[in-house]
Structure formats: C-alpha cells, structure tokens
Chain A
Amino acid sequence: MKEPVQFMSQLTAVEYRVPEASALAQRIGSAIAESRIIGHACPECGKVYVPPRGYCPLCSVPTRDANEVDVQPRGTITTFSVITPLQYQGQEEKDDYVQATILLDGTHSTIGMQRINGVAIADVHTGMRVAAKWRPESERVLSGGAGRNLALGEAIAGWEPTGEPDAPLSEYADYIV
C-alpha cells in the first residue's frame, strides 16, 4: 500500500438552544433597564450576592424575591487587567483598556469584566473607588438575561473614579477574585 494516512480533519459542530430566561433572570434584566442593580441577601448568613443566583452557595439555601435588595452602582476595584486587544477578525477594540473586577458596596460577591473609563490606565489601582456611568436608555441593548458580567456591559458604558479616598485593603481582601 502507499503511504498510510497520518491525520484526519474533522469539523465538529453541535447546535444548542439558548435556554429560556428564568423569572429571576428576567427580573435582573428589567432592573438593569431601569438603571437599578439588584442583589439577593441570604436569609441565613446575610451575605449579598450580585447578580443574584437564586441561592446562597455557602448556606445551600434558596434565595427569593423576598430577599431582594437594591445595590448602589458604586464600589471598589479589587483586581484588574490591562487588555491589549488582539486584532482578530471581528475585534472592535483598537486601544488598550482596563477590565476590572469590582466589589459593589454592601455586597459579598464581585462583578467581573467591567470597563474602567475616565482615568489614565497607569493610574488605575486596586482599592480605587468607582461608580457606574449608564448608557443613555436609547443606546442600551439588553440580551434579556444576566450573563457573567451581569449584562451591565450592555447598559453601562463603564465605571469611573469617584474621587473618594481608596478603600482600605481590609475591606476587600476577602473578595479579590
């Protein structure tokens, strides 16, 4: 026989349905449309989760609408990355930008992948106090669900420094990630 085959190419494709949004996800989306951020406070330990998951992962109990709390769009940068956008096909970013994880005031879970604006990249630091700048309502494109970044990226243009003194490390050391 002539040469054996060494490699076989195979394009694997699977198609999935986008799952229905739960009642909670819809509620989160409605709040964001009204420039409100909501969290759930665990009825047992009192910790506040943003976005609410419908349960407390530490106490393993459900959390419900009755546990809903309003969360101010204001918090502390716990960690961040400076992203140099790779110019792959479809990439819309051109310049370096900062993506941060933020601990919103009064909460015990961080929100990630938030854009930091209004400050030189070199000046961004952990402990920095920031507040949300919402997009004009007409520019908000809501996907109708709460993604990993709370779908805020579609409603919030980014977070900007408030000018307050930095939060002490003790306030956010347990919530870095």
Chain B
Amino acid sequence: MRTRDVAIVSFAQAPLDQPPGMSETTLLLPTITEALERVGLTRRDVGFTCSGSADYLTGGTFTFVQMLEAAGAWPPISESHVEMDGAWALYEAYVRLLHGDVDVALVYASGRAGLSVSLRETLALQNDPYYLVPLGADYVSLAALQAKAVLAATGRTERDLAEIVARARRDAKTSANAAVAGDFAIDELLAKDHLVAPLREHDIGPPVDGAAAAVLVAGDRARDLVERPAWIAGIDHRADPHYPGMRDLARSASSTLAGEKARVHEGGVEIAELTTVCSADELVLRDALRLGDDVAITPSGGSLVGNATMVDGLARIGAAFRHTSEGRAQRALGHASSGPCLQQNLVCVLEARA
C-alpha cells in the first residue's frame, strides 16, 4: 500500500485565563480559527474534521454535537468524533489522510473537568462496571497503586516523585496552560500529607478546562504551507487489559509496543512530551519507552501543572509540534494515555524537515 507523508502544520490551545461561563464551543471557536489562520487556511479548506471529548464531563448526552458549531459545520462537512482524548482523534485524522483523496484535516478536543463536583467520582464511572465501579475506585487511588508498584520495582522513592513535580512546575513558569507553576523546594513538597500514599496532592495534576486544535496536512500541500513541516514519522496506539490486577503495573507493555511501532528509536527523540496525570506515570513511561537521560521530558510542564481531561494528549502532541517546528528538537514525541493505570497509550513521533 502506498502511504503518504502527513505533517502537523499548526497547533493552538486556549489559554487557562478565560472570562467566566465559557462553554466548550466558545473556547473552541477562536482556538480553531487561530490554528487555521496560522497557516493561512480557513474552515472551507478542511477536508476532514475529527474531535475528541467526553460527555461524562458535561453530564449531557450528545453534548459533543454542540461543539461542532465551532468547526463550522455548514455546508455539511465530513467529520467524526471519538469519546477519547483528542490524540485519538488525531490518529483517526491521520489514517483518513492516508486514503489520498483529502489533503487537510482539522483535529480538535475540549473538556471541562471543572464542571464535576468531584472529578475523581465522575471518572470512576468509566471503569469496569462489575469489578471497579461498585468500589468507587477513582483515578487517584488507582494511580497510587501503580505508584507503589513502580517505586517497589525500580527502587525509586517519593523524593523522585517530588523532583518530577518540582521540575514540571519550574518548566511551566511561562506556560499559558499552567494552573500552578514556580519554584518549589523538594523538602517542602515532601512535608505535605499524603492524599493516597505514596501520592500527595501535588503529585496529581489539578483538573482544568481545556480546548485545543491541530491542523494536519498531507504531502506537498504541507510544504506549500510551512517551510519545515513536522512530519509524523510514526504513530501508533495500543491497549493493555483494563483490569489493573491483570498486569504488572510497574510496566506499560502497551506503551512499549506503541513506541516500537511508532519507531521512536529509529532516530531517537530529543524531547518527549508525556501525558502524566500522576507524577509516578513518568517513571513507568520513561522505562517503557526506554527514554534515557539525554531526552528532555515534558518541558511544557504537561498535565502535572494542569490536567485538561480529554485535551492533555493532543496538547502533548501539540507541544512536541512546537518543539520541532520552533527548532528546539529535530525529533520529538507526544504521548497520550487513557484508562486506569496507563491502560491505553498512544505515541506520535514528529520529525521536522523541509
């Protein structure tokens, strides 16, 4: 099968600072406009649109349909939606462009995690209805079990977790999407009480509202729009068994496999933007993706400074896009995750070249 080269040519994310009462549609509309206008495109140039969001966050069935107005759905457009992080919408758009009949795809994602009285309770409903939902097992409690597993298996400590958090907050000082940023002393972080041991509150990214959009273009059209497109050198996603007790939580076999299929190490990466809602996730993923000390990890600050549920993964790929297109790396990867204890993982490797 002949395949085409597909590149990300543009990415935009709504800043955290917004007037009150913004809906996902009103957050998305200027974000999509910005992503398109950056490369001189309009909504009319788009051949396929794909979005990611979760109706669980709004509490209304089919609310994702309302967001379509932000994409400009008249005259009728070819579009699709996944009840997933926008990274998976990007994957679908990538596959669609491989067909060859369409050159430009718009991908967007949104989520208002702030609408839940308790995001922990809301997301707990997405787990196995027979074995986990009746226990109210929430993502923080599950992440804590995984944290225990990876600390035990690797000999890392809670200090290592605090260092990950401090680094993320330091890196995020100039980010428009950080709910928390700045310099934090390790010992001060470690002095706080546990939320669910070994995790403290700062080990979990604070839930925030989010909206982001990316533009994918195939073949020569990408070169017409930007000088050095960020080509998708590899993209893949895999899933582990859902039930946490079925697998070794210190490892992420699905991340390892996705990384191999995305050809991370055929050229390596200088920067890896990882979706780590919990600090311990970084320990699991670095090992799973075999990222050495020479790889800069999530210099955007990532989910630990602001967990934009449903947008995180697309935003990591967007950050990887910015690193490559702004010349900070020739190859960078963006990673997305979904499901309890890093159950499903997507890896996207971008390579900037003319």
Contact, chains A and B (beta carbon distance below 8 A):
yes
Q: Which residues of A contact B (CB under 8 A)?
A: 8, 10, 12, 14-17, 19-25, 53-55, 57-58, 60-62
Q: What are 27 contact pairs spanning A and B, CB under 8 A?
A: A8-B130, A14-B116, A14-B121, A15-B117, A15-B118, A16-B58, A16-B59, A16-B115, A16-B117, A17-B114, A17-B116, A17-B117, A19-B21, A19-B112, A19-B115, A21-B20, A21-B21, A22-B19, A22-B22, A55-B25, A55-B26, A57-B73, A58-B74, A60-B33, A60-B70, A62-B29, A62-B30
Given contacts A10-B133, A22-B21, A57-B72, whether A16 and B29 have CB atoms under 8 Å apart is no
Cβ-defined partner of B56 (8 Å) among A14, A15, A20 = A14
A55 to B43, CA, bound (A): 15
B134 within 8 A of A: yes
Question: Any chain A CB within 8 A of the CB of B292?
Answer: no
Q: When the two chains form their complex, are residues A20 and B72 in contact, meaning their CB atoms are under 8 A apart? A: no
Closest beta carbon of chain A to B213's beta carbon, Å: 12
Q: Which B residues are CB-close (under 8 A) to A57?
A: 69, 72-74
Contacts of A20 in B (CB 8 A): 20-21
Chain A residues within 8 Å of B118, by CB: 15
**Contacting B21 at CB < 8 Å: which of A8, A14, A23?**
A23
- With CB as the reference atom, state the residue of chain A lying closest to B209: A19
Q: Closest CB of chain B to A19's CB: distance in Å?
A: 6
Bound together, the chains give a CA A161 to CA B182 distance in angstroms of: 64
| With known contacts A23-B19, A25-B21, A55–B121 Cβ distance under 8 A | no
Q: Are B26 and A60 in contact (CB under 8 A)?
A: no
Residue B175 CB within 8 A of the other chain? no
In the bound assembly, the distance between CA atoms of A162 and B184 in angstroms comes to 69
Give the complex CA separation of A23 and B29 in angstroms: 17
CA distance A75 to B33 in the complex (A): 34
Does any Cβ of A come within 8 Å of B338's Cβ? no
B241 at the interface (CB under 8 A from A): no
User: For residue B117, which residue of chain A has the nearest CB?
Assistant: A15
Contacting pair A23 B20 (CB below 8 A): yes
Closest chain B residue, CB of each to CB of A60: B72
Q: Is the CB of B29 within 8 A of A60?
A: yes
* Chain B interface size, under 10 / 10 to 19 / 20 to 34 / 35 or more: 20 to 34
Given the contacts A14-B116, A14-B125, A60 and B43 also touching, CB distance less than 8 Å: yes
Binding site secondary structure of chain A: mixed
Question: Roughly how many angstroms separate A21 CA and B22 CA in the complex, as a whole number?
Answer: 8
**How far apart sit A55 and B23, CA to CA, in the bound complex (Å)?**
12
A14 and B133 alpha carbons, distance in the complex (Å): 12
A21 vs B72: C-alpha distance in the bound complex, in angstroms? 24
For B20-50 the 0/1 string (1 means CB < 8 A from A) is 1111011001101100000000010000000
Contact of B26 with A54 in the complex, beta carbons under 8 Å? yes
CA of A58 to CA of B33, assembled, Å:
13
Across-interface contacts of A53 in B (CB, < 8 A): 25-26, 69
Q: Which residues of B contact A62 (CB under 8 A)?
A: 29-30
B157 vs chain A, min Cβ distance (A): 36
B37 to chain A, nearest CB (A): 11
Is B122 part of the binding interface, using a Cβ–Cβ cutoff of 8 Å?
yes
The answer to whether B129 and A10 touch across the interface, beta carbons within 8 angstroms, is yes
Contact: A14 with B122, CB < 8 Å?
Answer: yes
Rounded to whole angstroms, the CA-CA distance of A62 and B23 in the bound complex is 13
Residue of A at shortest CB range from B32? A60
Residue of A nearest to B118 (CB): A15
CB distance from A118 to the nearest CB of B (A): 34
Query: Shortest CB–CB separation between residue A78 and chain B, in angstroms?
Result: 18
* Minimum distance in angstroms from A142 CB to a CB of chain B: 16
Shortest distance between the CB of B38 and any CB in chain A (Å): 15
Complex-state Cα separation, A60 to B129, whole angstroms: 40
Complex: chain A residue closest to B58, CB-CB: A16
- Tell me the B92-112 residues at the A interface (CB within 8 Å): 112
Given the complex, which residues of B lie within 8 Å of A55, measured CB to CB? Answer: 25-26, 29, 69-70
Across the interface, which residues of B come within 8 angstroms of A16, CB to CB? 58-59, 115-117, 122
* Bound Cα distance A8, B132 (Å): 13
Contact of B59 among A8, A14, A58 (CB under 8 A): A14
Bound-complex Cα distance A23 to B22 (A): 9
Residue of B nearest to A23 (CB): B19
Chain B residue with the shortest CB-CB distance to A55: B29
Chain A residue contacts of B25, Cβ below 8 A: 53, 55
Q: In the complex, how many angstroms separate the beta carbon of A17 from the nearest chain B beta carbon? A: 6
Query: What are the residues of chain B within 8 A of A10 when measuring CB–CB?
Result: 129, 133-134
Contacts of B19 on A, CB cut-off 8 Å?
A: 22-23
Q: Which A residues are in CB contact (< 8 Å) with B122?
A: 14, 16
